[in-house]
Structure 1
Amino acid sequence: MKVSGIVELSTIDYPKKCSAVVFLSGCNMKCGYCYNYKHITERSYEMSAEEVFKNMDLMFAEALVISGGEPTLQPEGVKELCKLAKEKGFPVKIDTNGTNVDVIRDLVENKLVDYVAVDVKCRFDKYKELTGIDGETIKENILKIINICKENNVFIECRTTFIPTIMDKEDIEEIASTIKDCDMYAIQQFDNEHAYCEEFKKIKTSTTEELLELGKIAKNYIDNVVVRTLDGEFRINNDLMDNNKNNIKNRR
């Protein structure tokens, strides 16, 4: 498989577990705010699943996270990696943009993943402009993935990186009301400093307080809502926000 990088040990990518993170090369979206786009398109190392595990800190890692880019573009490599992880007793999380439902279905139904995180980029009528992907198609895909995970008792997280000037509270309301059956919804702080496109670097990022207000909107539809910022992770509990200080670094 084509790998762009490996983080040997992370405390923020798999909830409540130390994990190794494998970033696979290539993506079928081109989001201008992505801080990882240059790395996953310009860096590519051919590696087997066994070679990936040799580059992990197996002494402390408790789980494997497969990210990108878009890992489902390499279905055979991902499946091989998941099988090896399961043989070694590792729970597996996969990050996806939701474009390849059949790949996720195959992994879930064969019990090769324990956690699926789907990026919901924006309100669906804005998808084409922001990502180049048709919004109605991606909406159907995301709903299918949620159903597949729920039917198979696999944890399903949806998450949105909030881009000021591109998005507003109506985006969060539409997204939350659409993906209301997911197990958790995360609103993530935009990292303008490391954005791929120059135009996005000029956009001022939201404050923690602004994101918490968006979290309250999402809470009207989804019970489990968190806000992730560079200062920490905040869980929205009705009128009370719990702060989990973890120095969150948004990965996608």
Structure 2
Amino acid sequence: MSFFNDSAEVIAFAAQIDLDEVKAQFEKLFIMQRYRDVMHIEMPKGHLFVFDYGVLVTWGVNPAKQEQYLVKLKAIAKEMNPVQIDKYHFLKADKEATQLAIIQDKLVLPNLKVDSLLALSHALAQSVKLQHFESRAEQTISSNQYLTTTLAKTGTSPINRKALAKLRAQFFQTKSDILLQYRSLGAPEFVVNFPAMEQLYLDLSMHVALKARIEFLNRKLQTIQDLYDLFAEEQNYTHFSFLAWTTIILITTIMLLLLFK
């Protein structure tokens, strides 16, 4: 197995990409193999793994060639996302090893078999995809920070019912998009069926803290939901209070009219 260099790059670039279109784009040039949600492309020097949730993982690929292939993938991708990139270096362990070793950003692999690269690519792809979800949650929190600040200072909601309904609808769309793509963050079926590959996947997913980050992301989403619920309750209270006082004034007016009739 030959590599151009010792660089491994993980590039999130889209929400989705059709692997059949990926095959049509590259099958005349390289050896290809599909593994459910990922397409493996074997090059003369290096390997590409294209995940259907819009992530490319490269191992030892010529940077100039890699950029060319990424341009082709972007051309057939659906719903482009801001590009996010993680970079690592890799090498094979000198002695007979069965486990992955990680030293800073260097991955010391027990072997360079395609199955091993695939298992590791799953964890790397999930990590960079999770970054996209985390970024969207952070943006939502930041854009709504003024709401809690104003409420704390004035004790009243800084937005009206219509504006709040719009914000809640936007958040619902964001949350739905994230939940729909959550399937990409679970343990892949491929590695679960092969204990050695599963261990590689688990070791790397632990290193990039996948489980903890997913739990933290869920808490962030719940915090945003709680914030909107708080404002909805405050506005409902204000609305019902207004209706109550309106009713009291109306009844009082009617009674006075009847009294002095």
TM-score (norm 2): 0.26
Greater fraction of residues in strand: 1
Bigger relative contact order (CA 8 A; separation at least 6): 2
Which of these two proteins has the greater Rg computed from alpha carbons? Answer: 2
